[in-house]
Amino acid sequence: QVANATNFVLDDTAGNANEILDRIIDLQTAYNNADAPLEGRILVLDPTHSAIIAKEDKKLYKSFESTPGQMLFGFKTYMFSKNPIYIKATAQKAAQGTAFVGATHARSTFAYVKTEVMKAQGTFKLFSTLNSPTHKGDIFNFQMRALVQSLRNKYAAAIIK
């Protein structure tokens, strides 16, 4: 499924469970057809999808897995275990914090273009506990608030499997 000309959802929940590389190539093609910038394309793999790639092509997997940020089909590639989950029946993103249920949900790998997202740092707050008897020392902790979002809602993508 393609949401619009610049945002993509590649729903492969009914397809072959072992074809992540084909979906990444499809995503690269969709980005190229939408004239997305070649620089700054980021792909964040779900660990399950990463394991499927390892089974598909061990040599390719070793080449990009060894160092985060390695290129794979035009995308800098990273792995993150808390990617959004999608509802299989509707291909819609589930609410944040929803527990994964294999019969209902699908895992996702997502992609974006670096120039189309923003991060604004907010306030910092320091918490401290001096002379903690539990830890036998001082405890310091920082809380930082930030806003992270898409700038123009362009070039966001997800591979659902």
Interatomic CA distance for residues 74 and 84, integer angstroms: 22
Indicate whether this model's pTM tops 0.85: no
Q: Which residue has the higher pLDDT, 34 or 1?
A: 34
> How confident is the model over 24-31, as a mean pLDDT?
90
Take residue 150 and report the two structure tokens written for it: 């898409």
What pLDDT does 3 receive? 43
What pLDDT does 101 receive? 86
Interatomic CA distance for residues 142 and 161, integer angstroms: 37
What pLDDT does 112 receive? 92
Q: What is the CA radius of gyration of the chain?
A: 19
- When pLDDT is cut at 50, 70 and 90, the band that residue 4 belongs to is very low
Q: Tens of pLDDT along 28-84?
A: 998 999 889 999 999 999 998 888 888 888 888 887 777 778 888 899 999 998 888
**Quick count: other Cβ atoms within 10 Å of Cβ 139?**
12
**Quick count: other Cβ atoms within 10 Å of Cβ 13?**
15
What pLDDT does 2 receive? 40
- When pLDDT is cut at 50, 70 and 90, the band that residue 18 belongs to is low
Q: Which residue has the higher pLDDT, 18 or 151?
A: 151
Interatomic CA distance for residues 94 and 37, integer angstroms: 29
What pLDDT does 1 receive? 41
Q: Tens of pLDDT along 107-156?
A: 889 999 999 988 888 888 999 899 988 888 999 998 988 888 888 888 88
> How confident is the model over 97-104, as a mean pLDDT?
86
